[in-house]
Amino acid sequence: YSTRDEIDGFGSYAIGLAGMFIVTLWATADAVRVAKVNNLAFREERKRVSFKMEPSIQKYSNTQAMATGLKLNINF
């Protein structure tokens, strides 16, 4: 090996190492950004509240009595 080959080899190594460092930083920043966007979309989707009212008829177990009323379901 000559000195010129060693210098060229080190230059390639340094460029590769710097490129790997830059790609790692970019991927980390992008992962944080994507996670924030996904969390906001999930929160927006789950923000809806729904109310549902329906009639209810219940029979007591030991008697012939029946209870009627309204049942309210709230989903959030």
CA–CA gap between residue 17 and residue 11 (Å, rounded)? 10
Tokens of 38: 């996904």
Mean pLDDT over 69-76 rounds to: 86
Q: Say whether pLDDT at 70 is over 60.
A: yes
pLDDT tens track for 6-41: 667 788 888 999 999 999 999 999 999 999 999 888
Mean pLDDT over 41-67 rounds to: 82
Q: Is 50 helix (H, G, I), strand (E, B) or coil?
A: strand
pLDDT interval class at 57 (50, 70, 90): confident
How far are the Cα atoms of 8, 44, 57, 61, 68 from residue 49, in angstroms, in the given order?
Answer: 64, 11, 25, 34, 26
